[in-house]
């Protein structure tokens, strides 16, 4: 489906869900079309639209997690209404949080320390970490050459085998799953909170910690001093972990296929996705690579 058609379809779904939930939609503005569609609803709400029946349980779980974090006193995005199901899609509504900045590396580490210390209630039923979720679907849907799709599928198969042999040093716990600086934010008064609870799960803390480590190791998106602050604040340097190389490679594949799935939206996006695939192939030498972090 072309991006403009997809946007129109999902815009209509948000309008319908607003009527169901009794929300005055006002002006609905498209923010992004990634694994889900995200829209601004009026001035105070954000709506997210899933794209398959398989994502419905995840959408409901996100709302339950947000409400649990609120009870636990750990700042996070808050749900504005119950999820709205209609056929094979679900719309969730969230309070818009203005005037936020990306958290620093040390702030992210501090937040993860608090999160990883939490024990979720039994009725939350957190799933185990799923490092490869959505990758295959993204490759199938991507507007990229078939040869690149074949390479990505082979890379996925290789990393799936490697994941089965990974040794973790830290005990499994509650993890966010995707704690990068666009998902861990700070308010003007310095309160740090998390967004995007879709990958929230139970698993090895190394999976969370590797994300910022790879932003330093693979791309130099953060400085050496920032990474030292990050590892020092958390008290564990995942770059030295036996699991790190495999986790880094999985993170890079996830980031590449996420962008490849958006290659039909802009020429620049397509070019960057193809550049990332070439880097994974080894066409641009060793890390750090010149990936666009925007």
Confidence category of residue 36, pLDDT binned at 50, 70, 90: confident
Q: Are residues 131 and 247 in the same domain?
A: yes
Burial class (CB in 10 A: 0-12, 13-18, 19+), 108: buried
CA 246 vs CA 27, 105, 162, 239, 250: distances in Å = 44, 22, 7, 11, 6
| Rounded distance between C-alpha atoms, residue 227 and residue 233, angstroms | 10
16 part of a folded domain? yes
**Which has the minimum average pLDDT: 26-35, 124-133, 146-155, 184-193?**
26-35
**Which has the minimum average pLDDT: 25-29, 79-83, 195-199?**
25-29
Query: In terms of residue numbers, what domain contains 55?
Result: 3-97
**Percentage, residues of the chain above pLDDT 70:** 99
Given a contact cutoff of 8 angstroms between Cβ atoms, the answer to whether 210 and 251 are in contact is yes
290 part of a folded domain? no
Given a contact cutoff of 8 angstroms between Cβ atoms, the answer to whether 10 and 39 are in contact is yes
Matching residue, tokens 């550049």: 275
pLDDT at 2: 54
Q: Are residues 49 and 169 in the same domain?
A: no
Matching residue, tokens 């679900």: 90
Q: Are residues 90 and 135 in the same domain?
A: no
Number of domain units in the chain: 2
Q: Are residues 89 and 133 in the same domain?
A: no
Average pLDDT over residues 119-145: 93
Q: Are residues 76 and 121 in the same domain?
A: no
Helix 224-234 to helix 105-116 angle (10° resolution) is: 20
Q: Is the pLDDT of residue 26 over 90?
A: no
The per-residue pLDDT for range 258-294, each reduced to its tens digit, is 999 999 989 999 999 999 999 999 999 999 999 997 5
49 — phi, psi (to 5°)?
-115, 120
Given a contact cutoff of 8 angstroms between Cβ atoms, the answer to whether 274 and 148 are in contact is yes
The per-residue pLDDT for range 45-65, each reduced to its tens digit, is 999 998 887 789 889 999 999
Last residue within a domain, chosen from 49, 75, 97:
97
The most distant pair of C-alpha atoms in the chain lies apart, rounded to whole Å, by 55
Mean pLDDT for the chain? Answer: 94
pLDDT at 207: 98
Rg (CA), the chain: 19
The distance in angstroms from the start CA to the end CA of the chain is 24
pLDDT at 14: 95
292 part of a folded domain? no
Average pLDDT over residues 83-109: 94
Which CATH number does the domain housing residue 76 bear? Answer: 3.30.200.20
269 part of a folded domain? yes
Q: Are residues 159 and 245 in the same domain?
A: yes
Given a contact cutoff of 8 angstroms between Cβ atoms, the answer to whether 244 and 214 are in contact is no
Closest CA to 74 of 184, 161, 153, 192: 192
Last residue within a domain, chosen from 41, 75, 97:
97
Q: Is the pLDDT of residue 1 over 60?
A: no
pLDDT at 3: 62
The per-residue pLDDT for range 176-199, each reduced to its tens digit, is 999 999 999 999 999 999 999 999
pTM: 0.92
């Amino acid at each position: 489906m072309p991006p403009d058609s997809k946007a129109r379809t999902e815009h209509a779904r948000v309008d319908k869900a607003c009527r169901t939930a009794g929300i005055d939609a006002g002006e609905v503005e498209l923010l992004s079309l990634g694994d889900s569609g995200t829209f601004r609803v009026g001035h105070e709400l954000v709506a997210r639209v899933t794209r398959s029946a398989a994502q419905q349980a995840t959408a409901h779980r996100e709302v339950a997690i947000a409400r649990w974090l609120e009870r636990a006193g750990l700042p996070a995005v808050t749900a504005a209404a119950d999820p709205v199901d209609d056929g094979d899609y679900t719309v969730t509504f969230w309070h818009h949080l203005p005037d936020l900045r990306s958290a620093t590396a040390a702030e992210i580490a501090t937040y993860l320390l608090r999160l990883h210390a939490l024990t979720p209630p039994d009725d939350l039923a957190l799933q185990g970490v799923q490092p490869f979720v959505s990758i295959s679907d993204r490759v199938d849907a991507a507007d990229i050459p078939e040869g690149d799709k074949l390479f990505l599928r082979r890379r996925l198969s290789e990393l799936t085998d490697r994941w089965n042999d990974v040794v973790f040093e830290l005990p499994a716990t509650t993890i966010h799953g995707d704690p990068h600086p666009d998902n861990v934010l700070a308010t003007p008064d310095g309160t740090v909170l998390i967004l995007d609870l879709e990958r929230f799960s139970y698993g090895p803390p190394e999976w969370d910690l590797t994300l910022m480590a790879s932003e330093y190791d693979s791309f130099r998106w953060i400085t050496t001093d920032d990474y030292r602050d990050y590892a020092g604040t958390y008290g564990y340097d995942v770059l030295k972990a036996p699991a790190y190389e495999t986790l880094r490679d999985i993170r890079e594949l996830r980031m590449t296929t996420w962008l490849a799935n958006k290659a039909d939206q802009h020429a620049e996006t397509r070019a960057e996705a193809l550049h990332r695939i070439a880097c994974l192939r080894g066409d641009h030498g060793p890390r750090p690579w010149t990936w666009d972090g925007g």
